[in-house]
Structure 1
Amino acid sequence: MLNKDTGSTLPPIIYFNIGWMKRYAGADADDSTLGGHRWLADHRHGLECFNFLPTKKGTVEGYRPPGTRDKVNIDRLGAEPGANTIEGVLVVWLAREPGTGKTLVVGWYREATVYREARAGQYNLDGVNSEYSVTALKEHATLLPVGARSFQVPSSRTARGEGFGQKPTWYGAPTVNKRVWTYVNGWDNANKQTKPTNGKQPPRNTDPELRRKVEKAAVQHAWSYYEAKYGKDCVKSVEPYGYGWDLEVRSGDTEWLVEVKGLLNTGLACELTPNEYEKMCSPKQRSKYVIYIVNNALAQEPEVPIPTIFTWVGGKIWQTEDGRELHVAEKVGAVLTCK
């Protein structure tokens, strides 16, 4: 039932405000649920921890905090009178970012089924059976990596009539819905073109001016990301010096050496120079070294750049915060001449 033209028709949209997590793939010890819901005051995880964990049926089942009412008013989404479900809904998951307090889009379900009353799930958490109010095929579910969560949804305090209130369920507003729908389509369309290339040679951009613009945009993206995370004046450019990385980030005891790579929609594949690769592998630098890759680097609103951030976790393994692993294919080159 996925729309053939996902950019043309605005579907019913509903928003659920849940606790903040990295993966929402179960009650993992390293992925606590952070939020202000009453349950989380005494528990490490909320039932939303299962929201992006695929079931054996190939679906995802989304929990939303019930608030003061257990039922979802699916009539507001266009459900038939007396119906218990409505299909074809875009469900947008919101969460408050720790530290900044911003309410950000963390993911969504396309073509979801929303239930008027919550249903019993298959998991157990601290003696409580899970439940869900939404379901979708797992391939229609998108969870944004932590570093890519940037779309802020306004609250009713700052945008009267166009922002969410204190309840965990919000039925949206026309202006916000259009922006969100465009954002979702922009992300999905860009992401279709950023699949791993299994170590194949990345396409080479032969236009030097375009390469310069792409790299500049990628560096600016990384700069903004670290300033938002650690504060103003924490970033220094060392691009002209040939250190083997582009940016140095320092805040208190935190230090990162950030090598930035900018790409168009060419798949997540890029090259390091011999100097950059040496620094990446060096025992002296690797614990602080960061590979910051920006796909769709020249995107203009409402489309978005897609950052992927890799750090060293031990051995020869480089991973993102949500567990995706970087594949490294070493190259041997030669210089050929003829007199």
Structure 2
Amino acid sequence: MAPAMSAGAFLHALKAEGLTVVEVGNWRDHHRNSKGPWGPVHGVMIHHTVTKGSARTVEICRKGYAGLPGPLCHGVITKDGRVHLVGYGRANHAGLGDDDVLRAVIAEQGLPADNEANTDGNRHFYGFECENLGDGKDPWPAVQLEAIERAAAAVCRYHGWDERSVIGHMEWQPGKVDPRGFTMSSMRGRIGDRLGSKASAAPAPAPLPAPRRPVVDLSRLVAAARTNPRQSGQPVTYAGVRTVEAALVDQGLLAKRYSDGHYGTTTIAAYSAWQRHLGYRGTDADGIPGKASLVKLGQRHGFDVKD
């Protein structure tokens, strides 16, 4: 049983994780505690807002709208990576969800399918709303994805939880699709890396045979990367390019419309951003894959690498 941290401890935890935090109005005392209990807390829930424009998004999440009073979360993560604190305590963000999912979160085990709405999630989850239209086309900037990672890790670090305590709304309540545009599996991988836990999900009962992981041939990928398809009549390409492009899309570094199987200038720029995310600079971040950076991308997005 974990009591919720104080508002001050919540603020301190976010800042200690390296986040830029904006305190909005009387956020510490803005809550729905009169409508039901707040705590014990068991996890963190991630949402997308289906809104456009940071100022409007923060205002809606703070005040709510007809039929659903605010606050609609504890923190709003805008596209610039800032976390806007709009309320603290019970918030209208999770709604009713599956008690089997809650038990798995508490046990830090793999999640079952959510097929019931019988448990009060507003009581048990910290909530972060993330500015995005949720149409699968609106991009997720790298700085925003990193802020989601850091915010969730900050809460987990305080409570001693691992990344399996972080779920998406879509994993809690039947019919929900948020967050859309990245996978919660990849986000939990990022959070696990940050926490240093690298916990592996518990196997589901009677598991199906695991699908074969794609294998990306590094030498063929480099050949494709060094060939400009707009200037060459026969660009070097193969299925591994699409695998890498899909990972870059999932990472929030490449727009889906550019995931066309040709390692062109846009893909080079996206891979360069991935290299910089890993700490590479100068010619080491030229967008041409090296084995170390490609292996790390594969670890997060489910493919293997061969030389």
Q: What TM-score results when the alignment is normalised by the length of structure 1?
A: 0.26
Which protein has the larger Cα radius of gyration, Structure 1 or Structure 2? Answer: 1
Give the structure with the higher percent helix: 2
Which has the bigger relative contact order, CA under 8 A and spacing at least 6? 2
